[in-house]
Amino acid sequence: MKSKLLLALLALTLTGFANAQVKPEEAIKFRQSGYGFMAWNMGRIKSNVEGAYNKDEVIKAANAIQAIANSGMGALYLPGTDKGTGWEKTRVKPEFFTNKEGVTKVALAFGKEANEMAKVAATGDAAAVKAQLGKLGSTCKGCHDDFKIKD
């Protein structure tokens, strides 16, 4: 119940920000923050499957990833956000804004695997969580390979 409420609040908040004519640099900051938060939570899951497993910590991290994956972050890819600086210079490739089919494909794959991660985490099965983390990570890599400028 809490995760559904959090998801709804995040979606409403992000939609509200996007609809309020967010400045490009703010949109870049918001999405960089979202991706950073997801990366931190991916790391939390990884450290649990590689070390002492704490089911409750994995569930919290998986639910956070699921919430952001379903929050409507796509609204933060506004015109003019292909260049600029948020917390740092954006690294989104220009193709992100022109390849709608490719973006839709990676976004749907990520959402599917993030939702599945939350389900698998709830089971407490560390081996299944590790396998799902690999699937989820593959969707991140797919988007990064196609749409993120390498450092």
Domain extents in the chain: 2-147
In contact, 106 and 143? CB cutoff 8 Å: yes
What was the pLDDT predicted at 151? 78
Helix (H, G, I), strand (E, B) or coil at 44: helix
**Better-scored residue on pLDDT, 92 or 151:** 92
Instruction: Assign domain 2-147 to a CATH class.
Output: mainly alpha
DSSP string, 88-143: SB--B-GGGGT-HHHHHHHHHHHHHHHHHHHHHHHHT-HHHHHHHHHHHHHHHHHH
Q: Are the beta carbons of 68 and 117 closer than 8 angstroms?
A: no
Q: Look at residue 140 in the predicted model and tell me its pLDDT.
A: 93
> Which pLDDT band, with edges at 50, 70 and 90, does 5 fall under?
very low
Give the count of alpha carbons within 13 A of 94, CB side only.
Answer: 0
Closest C-alpha among 36, 37, 142 to residue 99: 142
The per-residue pLDDT for range 7-42, each reduced to its tens digit, is 455 555 555 544 568 999 999 999 999 999 999 999
pLDDT band for position 4 (cuts 50, 70, 90): low
Distance CA 43, CA 83 (A): 28
Instruction: State residue 21's pLDDT score.
Output: 83
> Quick one: pLDDT at residue 89?
96
Instruction: Read off the pLDDT band of 6 (50, 70, 90).
Output: very low
Task: Say if residue 133's pLDDT is above 80.
Answer: yes
pLDDT at 143: 93
Average pLDDT over residues 113-142: 97
CA angle 112, 82, 105 (to 5 degrees): 20
